């Protein structure tokens, strides 16, 4: 290096920085947590509906809502492992 100058590197990709990636990962996990909370609210609503309106489909609908919560929590665990 002539003259003791250090070359400056200008980032061309905004997602190249470590801070931007950390913020993106945290935002992804936060969105998935909100989705899991929403899924839990769906289970509660399905339970209330099943008590109010008793049909043959109610047990299957409850099971589907519980499986939905399982997938939402599974997505959080999967994202945590990947990110």
3-state class of 78 per DSSP?
helix
DSSP 21-75: HHHHHHHHHHHHHHHHHHHHHHHHHHHHHHHHS--TTHHHHHHHHHHHHHHHHHH
pLDDT one-digit tens code per residue, 16-70? 788 888 999 999 999 999 999 999 999 999 999 999 999 999 999 999 999 999 9
Domain boundaries, the chain: 31-83
What predicted TM-score, i.e. pTM, was given to this entire model? Answer: 0.76
């Amino acid at each position: 290096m002539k003259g003791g100058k250090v070359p400056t590197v200008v980032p061309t990709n905004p997602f190249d920085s470590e801070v931007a990636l950390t913020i993106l990962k945290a935002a992804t996990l936060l969105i998935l947590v909100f989705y899991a909370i929403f899924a839990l609210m769906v289970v509660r609503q399905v339970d209330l509906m099943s008590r109010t309106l008793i049909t043959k489909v109610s047990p299957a609908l409850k099971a589907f809502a519980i499986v939905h919560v399982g997938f939402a929590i599974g997505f959080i665990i999967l994202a945590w492992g990947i990110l």
